[in-house]
Each structure stands twice: as C-alpha cells, then as structure tokens.
Chains A and B, each alone.
Chain A
Amino acid sequence: MTKNRFSKFPPYLVNVSLLLLALVVNVAIGSVFIPPGSFIKILLNNLFELDLAGSWPAHFETIIFSIRLPHAVLILLTGAALASSGAAYQGLFRNPLADPYLIGVASGAGLGAVTAMALNWPNTLLGYYLIPISAFVGAVLTILVVYNLAKVGKMVPLTTLILSGTAVAAFTSAITSFLMLNSDDQIHRAIAFLLGGSPMAGWDPVLASLPYMVVGMGLLCFLGHPLNLLQFGEEQAQQMGLDVERSKTIVIVVASLTTAVAVSFSGVIGFIGLVVPHMLRMLWGPDYRQLIPLSVIAGATTLLFADVIARWVMSPQVLPVGIVTALIGAPFFLWILRRAKAEVFW
C-alpha cells in the first residue's frame, strides 16, 4: 500500500478541513483585512439567523457578501471543476500528463472567449455574458471536431484522440493570437483572460455556473468504477463487463463540459488539473471512486490558496491566478516527477 505518513490520515477529513481553512484565508485577505473570527460569525449569523455577538465595522458584511465571498465561491468551483475533470482525463487516457489542455478543450474555450472580445461583443446589449457563452460554444465545438477527427471506424483510440487534440489546440491558439493582434482595444482583457485572470465579479457568474458545475462534478464522482476498470486497458475493461465505448464517451463529454464552464467564468487556468489529482494519487492511492471526490475538494482548496497569493503578492495590483498556478505548479510537478520515479502510481 501507499507508504506515506499523510496517507494514515482520513482523506476526507484532511481535505475538508484544508478547504475550510482556505476559504477563511481567501475571504480574509484583501485591501481590507477581515479577521477570520468576524467572517465566521457574520457567515453563521446570516446563514442560520443566529445572533452571535462581535464587534466589526458595518461595511464588513457588504465586503464579504458582495465582493469577497462570491469571488471565493467562483474560485472554489473553478478549482474543483479543473481538478476533477483533470483526474477523469488522466484516468481515461491512463496518462499522468493528461489534462483539459491535452485534448484541446481549454484552447477551444479560450478561442471562443477571445472571439467575443475581438468582435467587441461586451459592449453590445447582452454585455459580458456573451464571453462565457462564446467560450462554452468554443469548447463544445472543439470537442466535436477533435472527437470526430480521432474516430477510426466505430472506435476512438486514445492515441489519435490526443494527437488530434494537440493539433486542434495548436490551430485554435493560432487563430486566438491572430484575433488578439487585430483587436487593439480589447487585447489587454483578452490576454488577462488567457492567463487565467478574469474571474467575473458578483453572484451572477456563480449562480450561472453552479448548475453546470454541480451536474458535471456530480456525474464525474459516479464515474470512478469505470475509470478504475480502464486502468487495466480497454480490452480487459470490456472483458470484465464494462461497455467501454459508452463509458469513454460519457467521461469525455462530462469532463469537457465541466472544464468549459470553469474556463468560461474564470479564464484559462493551468496545472490545477495536473498537480492536484497527482498529489492525491500519491497520498491515498489510485482508486478513482475516492480520487475524483477528493479532487473536487482539494482542487478548490488549491485554487483558493493560489488566488490568495495572486491578490496579495503585488497588492493592490492583482495577478492573474493562472500565472500563480503555472509558476508554482510547473516546478512542483517536476519535483513530483523526479521524486516519484522509483515508485509506481499507475
């Protein structure tokens, strides 16, 4: 079994505790510091109509409920979605390097968003909501193109899927760059979006993404057993009684839609989908029935902490959180790889 001192601790307890800590820290940090004690009391008072005593300025409640909390919840959902879909892609491709970028979904969503910005849609009647919708359409179109390119007869071999994903990602990125060069006034926002730094403000994006997130991640949590079987290869999985083609299609569609929603509302954020499931696998083993729900929790935690760094390190200026995840995530991932060479996690 996994030989690690962390693996002795109950995984759900550890991860939920860390998530709560991350949420409190994320809400506390900002131009105005909100003491965790005050935040917890204010939250409990409002959620359960309690009357916990405490002394805090009146504007704390405004800051928490109209700025900090919706931002934190959107970040939380984004991290959860990216990590859980990353875990699902890794299981499907039996490849520790698989993530939403590998099959082009994230690039497709990015192209959709930048197209909307280049055409100056944000200044039209429907306003900023056209960006997520356009990103969503871009992601779904990319999946369809990649999936059909990869199709050989009735089957979708994973190698051709990854190859066509990479090719389509290169193609969509090229169009994205071209659009950005030709749209000077929107270019700054487009760059910020592609760097993973434009979570939208307020409760509207949270409410708009929540149904997709809940459905997407909920379904991913039910796909653990098919993903476990696929670790033995597609032939063995089928011989053990799994409808392999149907399972693969379900995993691809659900994971891609989950990714698309995350990208739509928060921009292109890398490495969460790669590093988080990998860490969890090292600590608590390869069972996807547990790994996916844990990825939901730990992905949220990780992105909340990354977001704290993004808002704090150059404050009052806010860094795109995608830069933070890449700067910390990439070396971290290399460290994991070097350290893990001798051991088998797959």
Chain B
Amino acid sequence: MLSIQDLTIFYGNTKVVKEVSLDAAPGEIVASIGPNGAGKTSLVRGVSGVVDIFSGVIHFDQTDLNQLSPPARARLMAVVPQVSYVGGAFTVEQAIMMGRTAYMSWLGKPSEEDFYQVEQAMLHTKTKVLAERRIAELSGGEQQRVMLARALAQNTPLLVLDEPTNHLDMQHQGTILSLVKEQTAKRDLAVLMVLHDLNLVSLFADKAALMVDGEIMAFGKPEEVLTGEIVNRAYQTEVEVIYHPKTNHPIILHQNNGVMKGNNNDAQ
C-alpha cells in the first residue's frame, strides 16, 4: 500500500503541494487530476524522489521511501515519464534494459534475471517487434509503450505515470491505458497516475484525487469525484456530466460557454 501523508513541497518560496494525503492499494489505479498548475506533476515528482519534500511522509507498507537510496527506491517504484525524445539514439532493448539498473552492478552488466524481466516487459507491452529499432525512430505511441516496458522491467510493486497519454491520439491513449490496467491487475501494482482527460479517468481509474491550488479538493471513486458540481468548481467551467447508458461511467461534456468563461478568467 502506497500511503502519502501531509506531503508539502516548495518550489523556491511557492508552496506547490499543500499537506496532501492519499493512498493507493495494490491492484488500484489512482488518478491525480486537476487544472494546470494544481501541483499534480509536483506531487508525482515528490513521490518519485526527484524533488525535495518539505514535510510529510511517503510510505510503502512499512518503508519510508524518503530514507531510501536511489537504487533501493527504484526497486520499489518505477516511473513512466511524459513522452520525451531524450536518449533517442539507444535501441528499444537497450533502453528497457536500463530499467534494470537498480539490480545491476556499477558496470551495468545484465544477469539472466535481467534478460528475463526485459523479455517479459516487452511481451506485456507488445514492444518485442521494436527491440532493435532506435527510440527516435518510433511514433509517440510506440515510445510511450517502451517507457512503460522500461518501468515494468524495474519489477516494482509501485508504478507512477506522469501524463502517459500526453500528445497521443485517441487510439494510442486507449492502448497505453489498457496496458496499464492489464498490468496493474496482473502484477498487483499500486498505481499513481497524472491524467488530464477526465473521461479517461472515468474509464480507467479506480480512484481520482482532484487537486486545486496544491490541495486535495476531492478524493474517491471517479463517480464520486466527477460530479458536475465538483468539476465546475475545480476547473471554473460549466461542464455537464451525463452517465454512460450501458456502463454508467460518468462522461464529462464540454460546453462552449464553459470554455469561454475559463478564458475570460485567465485574461483578467
């Protein structure tokens, strides 16, 4: 169980995450949602240990993640970054193998186990056919599957994803989130994921943590958080929420006047 208690993060003098508490159980996908600048990405950066946290604790079961060395932390938590073109000259297989760093010596020589885990990760993300290709040659959707494979190769009980659907078309958004959901169940992962698209949250997340101005405004099942009243208050819009006729998932409908209102607020 991932458990975050009273997490506070500063960037310079600005408090970007304010006493945030939430948890994610094994097999559960928790989506961090909220308007731009709400502190979602700061939250996952704090959880993944790349920014200093000011106060609060992050536990996995009994382990305080902040007390761990980078390799020890990387054996508990893997991170899927936003689509990026860095490291593009490496082949897919080389990149996924780097996910095994925390289990390797300083020299980075892979063991039998490392090859096995990389093989599994490639099978589970359908990236095996790409193994010899360079990352820079791949499409955005393929790259994101490679990043997911690299995180799965880390073989951790915790998975953190920072906007994995960014810049992807509808089909690839569905593909990547389906893979995440499948592996969450299969590997019993506790997942924390930043997502922008509320309709995807409704479909793929088990819980939603709505952040506004660095604070949690609502935390619960998607159907509890994604009500018209809460969403409109958080995003300062006028959306309408209807329910899927077959599955009863909430569906967020944008309205033109809602978008205009948001823009006017920005201009002032």
A contact set with B: CB distance below 8 Å: 1, 94, 222, 224-226, 228-229, 231-236, 238-244, 281, 285-287, 289, 344-346
Docked-complex contact A344 and B134, CB < 8 angstroms: yes
Docked-complex contact B98 and A287, CB < 8 angstroms: no
Docked-complex contact A238 and B88, CB < 8 angstroms: no
Given B71, B81, B94, B95, which contacts A241 in the complex, CB threshold below 8 Å? Answer: B71
B116 within 8 A of A: no
Docked-complex contact B50 and A241, CB < 8 angstroms: no
The answer to whether A228 and B108 touch (CB under 8 A), given A238-B49, A286-B89, A287-B94, is: yes
B4 within 8 A of A: no
Docked-complex contact B84 and A233, CB < 8 angstroms: yes
Given A222, A239, A281, A285, which contacts B50 in the complex, CB threshold below 8 Å? Answer: A239
Given B45, B84, B94, B101, which contacts A240 in the complex, CB threshold below 8 Å? Answer: B101
Docked-complex contact A240 and B99, CB < 8 angstroms: yes
Report B67-125 residues with CB < 8 Å from chain A CB.
69-71, 73-75, 77-79, 81, 84, 86-91, 94-95, 98-99, 101-102, 104, 106-108
Q: How large is the interface on B (under 10, 10 to 19, 20 to 34, 35 or more residues)?
A: 35 or more
The answer to whether A286 and B90 touch (CB under 8 A), given A224-B108, A235-B50, A241-B101, is: yes
Inter-chain CA distance A222–B104, complex, in Å, is 13
The answer to whether A232 and B108 touch (CB under 8 A), given A241-B71, A243-B70, is: no
Docked-complex contact B81 and A235, CB < 8 angstroms: yes
Give A2 Cβ to nearest chain B Cβ, in Å.
9
The answer to whether A240 and B154 touch (CB under 8 A), given A94-B86, A224-B108, A228-B108, is: yes
Inter-chain CA distance A345–B89, complex, in Å, is 5
Give B186 Cβ to nearest chain A Cβ, in Å.
22
A-B contact pairs, 23 of them (CB 8 A): A94-B86, A222-B106, A222-B107, A228-B94, A229-B98, A229-B101, A231-B89, A232-B95, A233-B87, A238-B70, A239-B50, A239-B74, A239-B77, A240-B99, A242-B70, A242-B71, A243-B69, A243-B70, A244-B70, A286-B90, A344-B136, A344-B137, A345-B89
Docked-complex contact A225 and B79, CB < 8 angstroms: no
Inter-chain CA distance A242–B137, complex, in Å, is 26
Give B12 Cβ to nearest chain A Cβ, in Å.
11
Give A87 Cβ to nearest chain B Cβ, in Å.
14
Give B244 Cβ to nearest chain A Cβ, in Å.
36
Q: Which of A222, A232, A234, A286 gathers most chain B CB within 10 Å? A: A232
B144 within 8 A of A: no
Given contacts A231-B87, A233-B86, A239-B79, 17 further A-B contacts (CB under 8 A): A222-B107, A225-B107, A229-B101, A232-B95, A232-B98, A233-B81, A233-B87, A236-B79, A241-B71, A241-B73, A242-B71, A242-B101, A286-B89, A289-B107, A289-B108, A344-B137, A346-B88
Chain A residues near B71 (CB-CB < 8 A): 241-243
Give B119 Cβ to nearest chain A Cβ, in Å.
18
